[in-house]
């Protein structure tokens, strides 16, 4: 068994032993393939995403943890740093700032923190970023709540 697979098995055991309040689920999609995972994040409290459930697809390279996993939102998300159509996430730890010290769980938590702390200076969704750049926080929060209600609240029925 490779070092990558041993690491992933250990992470899976840790996730099952110490569940997180922010991560509703984090596990391989298929027990026979530890390189494809699914996560469901709860929308951060006191944010316009609160009450939403956001599914992520996680593809893990064979060189993990030396190389970062690829995380993509499956649930449509209105956020300056998330491409609305593809679910691509602009987050430095997924690219240039990756370290083997990051785990899948800590990476998912970083994505959840990003939801509540958008960075409009590096947008993948220019419309959402422009609302924040122009100082229209009320408009931004309203738009995010609308998309959260439309796309992220129906996921709860899929979890049970």
Q: How far is CA 93 from CA 82, 98, 106, 135, 159, in A?
A: 14, 4, 11, 27, 28
Catalytic residue selected from 78, 90, 108, 126: 90
* Integer Cα distance of 83 and 124 in angstroms: 5
* Integer Cα distance of 93 and 109 in angstroms: 12
* Integer Cα distance of 74 and 79 in angstroms: 14
Which element (helix H / strand E) includes 33? strand 33-42
**70-73 β-sheet, strand order:** 23-30, 33-42, 53-59, 70-73
Active site residue 78: no
Positions marked active-site? 90
């Amino acid at each position: 068994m490779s070092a990558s697979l041993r690491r992933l098995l250990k992470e899976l055991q840790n996730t099952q032993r110490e569940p997180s309040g922010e991560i509703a689920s984090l596990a391989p999609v298929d027990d026979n393939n530890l390189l494809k995972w699914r996560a469901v994040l709860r929308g951060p409290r006191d944010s316009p995403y609160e009450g939403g459930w956001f599914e992520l697809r996680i593809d893990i390279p064979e060189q993990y943890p030396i190389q970062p996993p690829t995380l993509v939102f499956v649930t449509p998300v209105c956020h300056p740093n998330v491409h609305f159509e593809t679910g691509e996430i602009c987050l430095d730890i997924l690219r240039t700032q990756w370290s083997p010290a990051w785990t899948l769980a800590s990476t998912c938590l970083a994505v959840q923190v990003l939801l509540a702390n958008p960075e409009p200076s590096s947008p993948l969704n220019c419309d959402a970023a422009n609302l924040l750049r122009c100082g229209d926080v009320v408009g931004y929060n309203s738009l995010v709540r609308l998309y959260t209600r439309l796309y992220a609240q129906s996921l709860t029925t899929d979890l049970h």
